[in-house]
């Protein structure tokens, strides 16, 4: 099994020396850079770059710059998707967004993680677990969604939250104020 197959299976893999993964990440970074440099009024240019990055057609979406991802092809956007500035998606595994998802500024969706054992981690090994976001979800600003999380339908995630576990349908989840 190759490193990409291990990555998508959620197994420990090495992304640092696999030429295929390095090339795919490099291509995604170039496309993100182009996207972030486009004129804000160039909607057709934005759509073309996002479709190249995700390797699929997308319809109603807005992603405000700056936007960054690792690969792009592991991301699926539902209809009527909106992400405010500074969206980061570390998509070493699948990241699926349902319809009518609204994301505040400075949010991150991180499928990638590293072993807790420092000897394994120091070898540059990592793993990735998928993230799934349901329909009609509003994610406030500065939210971080960690590997393996599923957020159900009709959910609101409050600003500043770190989502470490699944959130059921029809829920409001938030970090308590200090």
Phi, psi of 127 (to 5 degrees): -145, 165
**In this structure, what token pair is assigned to residue 110?**
């991180």
Say what the pTM is: 0.95
CA distance 154 to 142: 19
Domains of the chain: 3-173 (2.160.10.10)
Residue 175, pLDDT score:
83
Q: Is 85 a catalytic residue?
A: no
Q: Which of 114, 129, 132, 175 is catalytic?
A: 114
The pLDDT tens digits along the chain (178 residues) read 899 999 999 999 999 989 999 999 999 999 999 999 999 999 999 999 999 999 999 889 999 999 999 999 999 999 999 999 999 999 999 999 999 999 999 999 999 999 999 999 999 999 999 999 999 999 999 999 999 999 999 999 999 999 999 999 999 999 876 6
């Amino acid at each position: 099994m190759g490193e990409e197959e291990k990555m998508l299976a959620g197994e420990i893999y090495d992304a640092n020396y696999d030429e295929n993964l390095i090339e795919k990440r490099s291509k995604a970074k170039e496309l993100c850079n182009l996207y972030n440099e486009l004129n804000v009024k160039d909607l057709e240019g934005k759509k073309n770059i996002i479709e190249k990055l995700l390797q699929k057609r997308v319809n109603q979406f807005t992603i405000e710059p700056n936007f960054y991802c690792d690969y792009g092809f592991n991301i699926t956007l539902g209809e009527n998707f909106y992400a405010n500035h500074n969206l980061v998606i570390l998509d070493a595994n699948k990241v699926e967004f349902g319809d009518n998802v609204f994301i505040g500024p400075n949010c991150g969706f991180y499928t990638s993680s590293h072993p807790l054992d420092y000897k394994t981690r120091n070898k540059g090994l990592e793993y990735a677990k998928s993230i799934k976001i349901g329909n009609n979800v509003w994610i406030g600003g500065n939210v971080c969604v960690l590997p393996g999380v599923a957020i159900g339908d009709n959910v609101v995630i409050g600003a500043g939250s770190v989502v470490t576990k699944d959130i059921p349908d029809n829920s409001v989840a938030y970090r308590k104020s200090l």
